[in-house]
Structure 1
Amino acid sequence: MVKIAIAGGSGQVGREVIDALVATKKHEIVILSRNVKSAIGDNSSGITWRAVDYDNKNSLVEGLQGIHTVLSFIQLLADPQNTAQKNLIDAAIAAGVKRFAPSEWGSASAIDMPWWSGKDEIKEYLKKVNENGKVLEYILFQPGLFLEYLAAPYKTAKHLEPLGTMIDFQNRRAIVVEGHDAIMTYTTVKDVATIVARAVDLDVEWPVAGGISGNRVPISELLKIGEKVRGQAFTVEKVKLEDLEKGVLTASWTLAASHPSVAQDQIEKMMKVVLIGTLLSSAKGAWDVSDAFNQIVPDFKFTQIENFLAEVWEGKP
C-alpha cells in the first residue's frame, strides 16, 4: 500500500483513474483541491481531500507530506504558464515524493497542438530537475486518443464525456491529410485507468516512456472498420498538409463537441484549431505512441477497437 496524491482529480480522466485505484482497495488516495470547502474527509472510500494553493509551494509541500506517488491531471488550458505543475514538481521533490506522472494522457508529441504546448515544457522541466542525478522518478503516460471518442455522441465511460474527432462514426465521414496514412493509437480510458492502477503497484523503477498502446491502426484500416460496423463506406474529404500549415481548413465540416475547459465564446475558434492541429500532428506521427507499458504488463488484454465499435454502433441509425 502506498499513499497517492491526485492533482486535478475533479477532471474526467482523473476521476476514471481514481475509480480504478479505489477498486483495488490497496492504497490511500489523497485528492489535492484548490477549494477549501471541498477538502473534507471521505475515509469510507479510502479517499481524503487536502486543500492546497498551487501558487504557493509551501502549501503544496505541506499537502504532499507522506505521499509516495503523485498523478497529475491538471488541465493545461487552465495553467497556461505551467505554474501549477512546476510548483507541484518542486514541492514533490521537497516533500520526498518518490514517483510523479505529469499531465500527459495523450499523444507522444505535442507538435502542432498549441493547446498542449505546455506538455513539452513540463517534459523539459522534469529532465532538468534530474540532470545532476535522479531526484524524482517520473513517467509520461501516453495512451494516444481515447477509443471512447469514436463512439461520440454516445457516452461509453463513467466520467469521460464524448468528443468528436476527424473520424466521425455517427455521420460516417472523415477528414484525412492527402498523401498521409497516419498511424493512430486508440486506448479505452478504462484500460488506461487499469494500467495506471497496476503501474502504482510495480516494484520496478518506472520508465520515462509510458506509452500505452491499446490499438495501433493506420487511418485506412480504421475507415475499413468503420465501413464494416456502420454498414456503408465513409465520405472521406482530403485536405492538404500545406493548407493546414497555413491554418486553412478546406473541409466542409469541423468538430462540434468541445472540452468543458474551453470558454463558450472561444468554442468555434478552438474547434477549428484542434481539428487542424490533430490532422497535422497525426501526419507527423504524434499519435503513434510507444508500447512501452504493454511490454511491462504483457498479460494485460486491451479492449480491441473493432469489438468495441461493433458493440457501440450495433443498431444505431
Structure 2
Amino acid sequence: MVRVAVAGGTGQVSQEEAPTTTTVAPEIHWQIVDYNDKEILVEALRGTHTLLSFVQILSDPDQKAQKNLIDAAIAAGVKRFAPSEYGSKGTVDMAWWHGKERIREYLEEVNEKEKILEYTLFQPGLFLDYLAYPYKTAKHVDPLQSVFDFENKRAIVVDGHEDSIMTLTTVADVAAVVARTVDYEGRWPTTGGIRGNRVTFSRILEIGRRVRGCSFTVDKVKVEDLEAGSLKASWGLEAVHRAVSEDQASALLKAVSIGVLLSSSKGAWDISDELNQLFPDYEFTPIEDFLAKTWEGKP
C-alpha cells in the first residue's frame, strides 16, 4: 500500500474519502502544517506517493495553498496529485469555483515541458445526497439544499432547458471510486469523471413525483433573467455551507442558484465517465433507489 497524504483532512468531503475514525488508527498520522511555508510542506510530503487535496476553495481565494502544495509535492518527489475538485466539469457562471480553473491551469503549466506530476480531476457532478435535504445520508457531509427541493416538492428549472443534464453521484460512491483510483497502479486519466447517474431535469422531476407521491411545483426561470443576475422564483436556498460567513450567505446562495441553473444549460454538469471505464465492475447507486429509500415514510 502506498503512502497517501490528505491536505485539508478535517473537511467534510476529505473525511468521507480518507479512512478516518473517531479513534485515529495507528497507520494514520495527523500533522498541522503552514500552507504558506513551502519548506515545511516539502518535509511533510517526503515519502508520499499520492497527495489528495481537499483545501476549501472559498477559504483560499488566490489558491496559494494549493499552488504551494503542488510545488512542494514536486520538490518532495510525490508521484500523483488530485486537486480540490469534486463537482462539475466546467465552472462557467460559477464564480465561487473559479479557483478550480486557476489550479487546473497551474497543473498544465508545471507539466507543460514534461510530465513531472501525474494528476486527475475528480468530478462526480452534484452529490446525490443533497436531494435528501434536510436529512443527512452521508457520514460527514452535511445536507445542503439544491434547486431540487424534495422536502417541499418543488424545483427551479430553466425554461426551455428541461432536458439539461445533471450528473448525481452519492458521497459513498465517490469515496469508493476515489479509493479504487488511489490503489490503481496504472496512469491516472487527467480528467477523472465519475458518472453515478446522468439524468435530465425532467427525469429528476419524474422521479420526485414517484417517490414523493405527487407532482412538484416547478418555477421556470428565463435565461436572460439569470444572465442579468435576477432569480425570479417563488423561493430560494436557505442552507449555507459552513465555510461561508453569515454576511456572505444571502448573496452566495442566490449566486449558487443562478450559477447552477445557467451552467447546467451549458453542459457543465454533464460529467464524463473516465473512472466508470477504469472500474467497469463498480455498481453505482441508482438515483431512484436512493431517493425512494431516503424519502420513504417522510412527511
The interval holding the TM-score normalised by the smaller chain is over 0.9
Alpha-carbon separation, structure 1, partners of 2:175 and 2:214: 33
The structural deviation recorded for 1:44 is 3.3
**Cross-structure match for 2:158:** 177
**Cross-structure match for 2:287:** 305
Which of 215, 218, 232 lines up with 1:250 in the alignment?
232
Matches within 5 A, 1:152-231: 152-180=133-161, 181-231=163-213
Cα pair 1:111 1:281 within 8 Å, conserved: yes
Cα pair 1:51 1:63 within 8 Å, conserved: no
Alignment root-mean-square deviation, CA = 1.1
**Cross-structure match for 1:31:** none
**Cross-structure match for 2:267:** 285
Amino acid of the structure 2 residue aligned with 1:177: V
**Cross-structure match for 1:110:** 91
Alpha-carbon separation, structure 1, partners of 2:253 and 2:26: 38
SS at match of 2:101: helix
Alpha-carbon separation, structure 1, partners of 2:295 and 2:185: 40
SS at match of 1:253: coil
TM-score (norm 2): 0.97
**Cross-structure match for 2:80:** 99
Which of 15, 39, 51 lines up with 1:58 in the alignment?
39
| Count of matched residue pairs | 297
Amino acid of the structure 2 residue aligned with 1:302: F
Structure 2: where are the runs of 5+ without partners?
none
Matches within 5 A, 1:121-160: 121-160=102-141
SS at match of 2:146: coil
Amino acid of the structure 2 residue aligned with 1:205: R
The structural deviation recorded for 1:45 is 4.2
Alpha-carbon separation, structure 2, partners of 1:268 and 1:185: 26
Structure 1: where are the runs of 5+ without partners?
24-41
Q: Report the identity percentage.
A: 62
SS at match of 1:210: strand
Cα pair 1:71 1:100 within 8 Å, conserved: yes
Which of 220, 235, 255 lines up with 2:217 in the alignment?
235
Alpha-carbon separation, structure 1, partners of 2:79 and 2:165: 34
CA separation of 1:43 and 1:15: change in aligned 2, threshold 3 A: closer
TM-score (norm 1): 0.92
Alpha-carbon separation, structure 2, partners of 1:45 and 1:182: 47
Alpha-carbon separation, structure 2, partners of 1:10 and 1:245: 36
